[in-house]
Structure 1
Amino acid sequence: MMHHPKPPEENVTTPVEFVLLGFADVPHLRWFLFGLFFAIYTIILWGNGTILIITKVDPTLQTPMYYFLGNFSFLEICYVSATLPRMLLNLATQRRNLSLVACATQMCFVLILGATECFLLAVMAYDRHVAICQPLHYPLIMNPKVCTKLVAGSWVSGIPVQIGQTIQVFSVPFCGSNQINHFFCDIPPILGLACGEILVNKMMVYLGAILFLFVPLLFILVSYSKIITTVLKLPSTTGRAKAFSTCSSHLAVVGLFFGSSIITYLRPKSDHSAEKDKVLSLFYTIVTPMFNPIIYTLRNKDVIMALKKLFSK
């Protein structure tokens, strides 16, 4: 993040609007990028929407694992819809102006939905841990009431903190340019326009990243260390293969999402650049939602059978 020296009082401004530059540096690729991202958005809506439908209507998928997967697919639709439609509008119309309120609202939704994704991925890891390490107690532990509470907690836990995070980011003094070299209102490029002392603001960003990224990730890693230990003790090779198969899809999504998010928010300041931030942000805001349906269907026989039944109707 850029850090500007404290400017004279008259140079400090509160911009009425920002300009999202997005991919303005490659105008010759404008319509190619529009077509590409429109196709990706369609794939995300169709793929995640299909998983959401089959987990609701297929009797064989009425289990906690698929209940969480259905919620995760719905979350992915919401998450990508917080950024991609605006990006498509900017590419199509070249109108990149965005009011301060609209920018703050977009950031707030992205942060809240991102926190929900972190918690929901942790909940899904817990579900797999109970299913594999405590199979006899699984129906009792993961009863419908508990599953509902875990999902509701994932959705609402980050709301107050992320609203506060958004407020503190936009409370900094701004000076000079109001151009955001990004395709959505993210924290690093916004703080890059700030003037004066923003150490406290940056510390709050790091604390938020630790709370919403490292804590859930640590929980996931601990859960999977216990899962692996349990699976390796299984006498049947088929049983081990089945257990690893149900976990590998979730681990792939965890790696994509957490890896790109942690690098974006916690890598050293000297390694920050607008182009790197944009590329990394594409992974956790667009690539993960796009690959989620593919990852969860390729090696999942239950989902494949449910899809066949749905399309045969």
Structure 2
Amino acid sequence: MEATTCNGSVDGSPVFYLVGIPSLPASFFLLVFFIFLLFYLLILMGNALILVAVVVEPSLHKPMYFFLINLSALDILFTTTTVPKMLSLFLLGDHFLSFSSCLLQMYLFQSFTCSEAFILVVMAYDRYVAICRPLHYPVHMTPQTNAALAASAWLTALLLPIPAVIQTSQMAYSDIAYIYHCFCDHLALVQSSCSDTTPQTLMGFCIAMVVSFLPLLLVLLSHAPSLASVLRISSREGRSKAFSTCSSHLLVVGTYYSSIAIAYVAYRADLPHDFHVMGNVAYSILTPILNPLIYTLRNKDVKAAITKITCLKTKATTGMLDF
């Protein structure tokens, strides 16, 4: 990244200019807008279907699906933090963001990223108890315990990014600071500053360790005994049924951390700005759009509930038309 120089006095309230995808010609903006809009609508519809299915269908009122609706809500909030601004940028050429709006977007993006990592850890623990200690499952995974685990994940994620946001807000910026990104990502915002970026880069690395590698380690530690227990099951049918209870979660975890790895490599490698931007955009869209597909295609209970709701809605609509 090129160093940013300050022009003119800095009054503490700069305006941020989102460059978007630097090398993308303006003639392609409309096409990119429709692609992002399609992805956003798919994310909203897919995750909303899961939310409705779990809430409406009594057979899905189980701890695993309680955490699943937390994940779906996070995916909706996660993408809504960034995608609407990207749509405005590519359709209307709305490149500007105020100082407070940019910091708020950065804070929410980081918070929801942390929340998703912690919810995935809680879901892994739920699968561990279900497979390795099935007789104790009703005792360990009570509604009160589930609510406490989910609330802890949300609260920790809301508090964790605050130091980074405070330090970023105290950095010096030009009156118009250029951010080489489609939204106010932490590292992109730091790199637009005139101040020494070393402390913020170090803090960003530490946060990445806490919200990426530590949760991943906990997920792996939870799934290792679960997979060992599955392999000890003698019958092929029983082994397949037990493995299916954690395979969807493993796919979600794999997608989540693969997208993080893409974004991290794109930032750290000596690549053009476009690769940095697209790596992070892929991270912010890939997981939310694949999660509903994984859970609806691989989970028979969720698939059956969604099919049931869709059929009921179709019948109701047909009945109204006949009337």
- TM category (shorter chain) comes to over 0.9
Equivalent position amino acid for 1:207 in 2: C
158-167 or 93-102: bigger deviation: 158-167
Separation in structure 2 between the aligned mates of residue 226 and residue 275 of structure 1, nearest angstrom: 42
Equivalent residues in 2 for 1:223-242 (5 A)?
223-242=222-241
Deviation, 1:283, is 2.8
Instruction: State the secondary structure of the residue aligned to 2:31.
Output: helix
Distance 1:278 1:190, change over 3 A: same
Distance 1:270 1:287, change over 3 A: closer
300-309 or 253-262: bigger deviation: 253-262
229-238 or 160-169: bigger deviation: 160-169
Instruction: State the secondary structure of the residue aligned to 1:158.
Output: helix
Instruction: State the secondary structure of the residue aligned to 1:73.
Output: helix
158-167 or 71-80: bigger deviation: 158-167
Output one character per residue of 1:60-109: Cα deviation in whole Å (capped at 9) or x when no partner: 10100011111111111111100011111111211211111110010000
14-23 or 208-217: bigger deviation: 14-23
Separation in structure 1 between the aligned mates of residue 295 and residue 6 of structure 2, nearest angstrom: 55
Is 1:35 paired with 2:18? no
Instruction: State the secondary structure of the residue aligned to 1:98.
Output: strand
Output one character per residue of 1:164-193: Cα deviation in whole Å (capped at 9) or x when no partner: 211212322235972211111001211212
Deviation, 1:311, is 1.3
Separation in structure 1 between the aligned mates of residue 6 and residue 189 of structure 2, nearest angstrom: 20
Contact 1:80/1:286 (8 A) holds in 2: yes
Output one character per residue of 1:244-285: Cα deviation in whole Å (capped at 9) or x when no partner: 222222122212222322453477745354222222222321
Contact 2:259/2:287 (8 A) holds in 1: no
Match of 2:124 in 1: 125
174-183 or 77-86: bigger deviation: 174-183
Instruction: State the secondary structure of the residue aligned to 2:97.
Output: strand
Can you give the 5+ residue segments of structure 1 that lack an aligned partner in the other structure? none
Distance 1:283 1:256, change over 3 A: farther
Instruction: State the secondary structure of the residue aligned to 2:161.
Output: helix
Equivalent position amino acid for 1:190 in 2: L
Deviation, 1:11, is 7.0
Equivalent position amino acid for 1:22 in 2: G
Match of 2:315 in 1: none
Match of 1:76 in 2: 75
Separation in structure 2 between the aligned mates of residue 170 and residue 273 of structure 1, nearest angstrom: 26
Can you give the 5+ residue segments of structure 2 that lack an aligned partner in the other structure? 313-323
Is 1:202 paired with 2:193? no
Deviation, 1:10, is 6.7
Match of 2:278 in 1: 279
Is 1:18 paired with 2:16? yes
Contact 2:13/2:175 (8 A) holds in 1: no
Instruction: State the secondary structure of the residue aligned to 1:197.
Output: coil
Equivalent position amino acid for 2:55 in 1: K
Distance 1:8 1:95, change over 3 A: closer
Deviation, 1:46, is 0.8
Separation in structure 2 between the aligned mates of residue 80 and residue 245 of structure 1, nearest angstrom: 28
71-80 or 245-254: bigger deviation: 245-254
Percent of pairs identical after alignment?
37
Contact 1:116/1:158 (8 A) holds in 2: yes
Output one character per residue of 1:128-155: Cα deviation in whole Å (capped at 9) or x when no partner: 1111111111111011000000111111
Contact 2:14/2:99 (8 A) holds in 1: yes
Contact 2:121/2:219 (8 A) holds in 1: yes
Name the TM-score, length of structure 2 as normaliser: 0.89
Distance 1:171 1:213, change over 3 A: same
Deviation, 1:229, is 1.0
Match of 2:304 in 1: 305
Deviation, 1:198, is 2.5
Deviation, 1:197, is 2.6
Separation in structure 1 between the aligned mates of residue 130 and residue 43 of structure 2, nearest angstrom: 29
Separation in structure 2 between the aligned mates of residue 258 and residue 281 of structure 1, nearest angstrom: 12
Name the TM-score, length of structure 1 as normaliser: 0.92
Match of 2:90 in 1: 91
Contact 1:206/1:266 (8 A) holds in 2: no
255-264 or 88-97: bigger deviation: 255-264
Contact 1:176/1:193 (8 A) holds in 2: no
